[in-house]
Structure 1
Amino acid sequence: MLMLVYFLGYLDRANLGNARIMGLPDDILDGDPTGVKFALINTAFYFAYITFQLPATIMGKKFSQNFWLGVAATGWGFCCAMQALTYNFANMFIARFLVGLFESMFSPNISLYFTYFFTRQEIGARLGTWFSCASLAGAFGGLIAFGVQQINSRVENWRLLFIIEGFPAVIVGLLCIKILPDRPDTATWLNEDERQLAVMRMSRGGLKEKPRTINARHIWLAVRDWKIYVYGVVYFGAASAASALAAFLPTIVQDFGYVGAQAQLFSVPPYAVGAVVLIITMPFSDRLESRGIPLTLAGLLGGTGFLLLIVSENVHVRYVSTFMICTSTFTSIGLAISWFPYNIGSESKRAAGIPLFQAIGQCGSVLGANLFPNAEAPRYFLGFGVSCGLLYLTGFCALCLTAYYRYENARRDRQYGQADRNAAVDTSELADNARDFRYTV
Structure 2
Amino acid sequence: MLVYLLGYLDRANLGNGRLMGLPQDILGGDPSGQLFAWLNSSFFFAYIVFQFPGTILGKKFSQNFWLGVAATGWGFCSALQALSYNFANAFICRFGVGFFESMFSPNISLYFTFFYTRAEIGGRLGTWFACASLAGAFGGLIAYGVQHIDSRVADWRLLFIIEGFPAVIVGLLCMKVLPDRPDTMTWLSPEEKRLAVKRMNRGGKKERAHTLNLRHVWRAAKDIKVYIYGIIYFGANAQAASLNGFLPTIVQNMGYAGANAQLFTVPPYAIAAAVLIVVSFVSDKYQSRGWPMFISSMVGGTGYLLLIVDVPVHVKYFATVLVTAATYTTIGMAIAWFPYNMGSESKRAAGIPIFQGIGQCGSILGSNIYPTADAPRYLKGFGISCGFAYLAAVLALGLTMWYRWENTRRDRLYGVVDRNAAVDTSELADDAHAFRYTP
Structure 2-normalised TM-score?
1.00
Name the SS of the counterpart of 1:423 in structure 2. Answer: coil
1:122 paired residue among 120, 135, 152: 120
2:154 paired residue among 156, 168, 178: 156
C-alpha displacement of 1:238: 1.0
1:79 has 2:77 as partner: yes
Matches within 5 A, 1:60-75: 60-75=58-73
Structure 2 Cα separation of the partners of residues 419 and 226 of structure 1:
25
C-alpha displacement of 1:141: 0.2
1:407 has 2:389 as partner: no
1:45 has 2:43 as partner: yes
Structure 2 Cα separation of the partners of residues 433 and 109 of structure 1:
23
Name the SS of the counterpart of 2:329 in structure 1. Answer: helix
Name the SS of the counterpart of 2:288 in structure 1. Answer: coil
Q: Which amino acid aligns with 1:258?
A: Y
309-318 or 251-260: bigger deviation: 309-318
1:14 paired residue among 6, 12, 15: 12
1:398 has 2:400 as partner: no
Number of matched pairs: 439
Deviations 1:64-96 (A, max 9, x none): 000000000000000000000000000000000
Matches within 5 A, 1:252-401: 252-401=250-399
Structure 2 Cα separation of the partners of residues 37 and 68 of structure 1:
33
C-alpha displacement of 1:30: 0.3
Q: Which amino acid aligns with 1:157?
A: D
Name the SS of the counterpart of 2:13 in structure 1. Answer: helix
Q: Which residue of 1 aligns with 2:191?
A: 193
1:248 paired residue among 246, 249, 252: 246
Structure 2 Cα separation of the partners of residues 421 and 366 of structure 1:
39
Name the SS of the counterpart of 2:65 in structure 1. Answer: helix
C-alpha displacement of 1:44: 0.2
Structure 2 Cα separation of the partners of residues 405 and 339 of structure 1:
12
Structure 2 Cα separation of the partners of residues 132 and 313 of structure 1:
29
Structure 1-normalised TM-score?
0.99
C-alpha displacement of 1:256: 0.4
Any unmatched runs of 5+ in structure 1?
A: none
C-alpha displacement of 1:152: 1.7
Q: Which residue of 2 aligns with 1:56?
A: 54
Q: Which amino acid aligns with 1:267?
A: T
C-alpha displacement of 1:13: 0.1
Deviations 1:115-134 (A, max 9, x none): 00000000011001111100
C-alpha displacement of 1:178: 0.3
Structure 2 Cα separation of the partners of residues 241 and 32 of structure 1:
23
Q: Which amino acid aligns with 1:342?
A: Y
C-alpha displacement of 1:312: 2.7
Q: Which amino acid aligns with 1:208?
A: K
Structure 1 Cα separation of the partners of residues 116 and 210 of structure 2:
19
Q: Which amino acid aligns with 1:363?
A: C
C-alpha displacement of 1:313: 3.1
RMSD, matched Cα: 0.5
Q: Which residue of 1 aligns with 2:215?
A: 217
C-alpha displacement of 1:154: 1.3
C-alpha displacement of 1:151: 1.1
Structure 1 Cα separation of the partners of residues 300 and 310 of structure 2:
15
Deviations 1:375-418 (A, max 9, x none): 00000000000000001111111011001101110110111010
Structure 1 Cα separation of the partners of residues 326 and 13 of structure 2:
21
Q: Which amino acid aligns with 1:292?
A: G
Equivalent pairs: percent with the same residue? 69
C-alpha displacement of 1:420: 1.1
Q: Which amino acid aligns with 2:16?
A: N
Structure 2 Cα separation of the partners of residues 26 and 407 of structure 1:
56
